[in-house]
Amino acid sequence: MKASLKLLIFAIIGGIVITLITGLINNTPEMLVGVVYYGYPLAWLQMLVIAPQYFPWHVHPLRLVLDILVWTVIVWIILFAVSKARKK
């Protein structure tokens, strides 16, 4: 397997893992009442606190994909820099 493909696969896996871990971080604005947002930097998971009908959790798919892309790019940059530093 080529090194660049291996780097990309590790970056995607790292982006997904970090995104799911950041789903535990509360990202709700101060004055907002009734909804709690989770995820960082984009709030992709929300929980209705006041009067949830059936299932209080809601995932925003577009924000989730964008959050995975953001973390994948960050992980890829870090892995690329580390691999270049090791070659020197």
Would the CA dihedral through 48, 53, 54, 60 be positive or negative?
A: negative
Predicted TM-score (pTM) of this structure: 0.85
Domain count, the chain: 1
**β-bridge mates for residue 35, sequence order:** 48
At which residue do the structure tokens 């959790």 appear? 57
Predicted confidence at residue 56, as pLDDT, reads: 84
**β-bridge mates for residue 46, sequence order:** 37, 58
Cβ pair 52, 63 in contact under 8 A = no
Predicted confidence at residue 34, as pLDDT, reads: 81
For the chain, what's the residue count?
A: 88
Average pLDDT for the chain? 89
Which residue segment(s) compose the domain that 47 sits in? 3-87
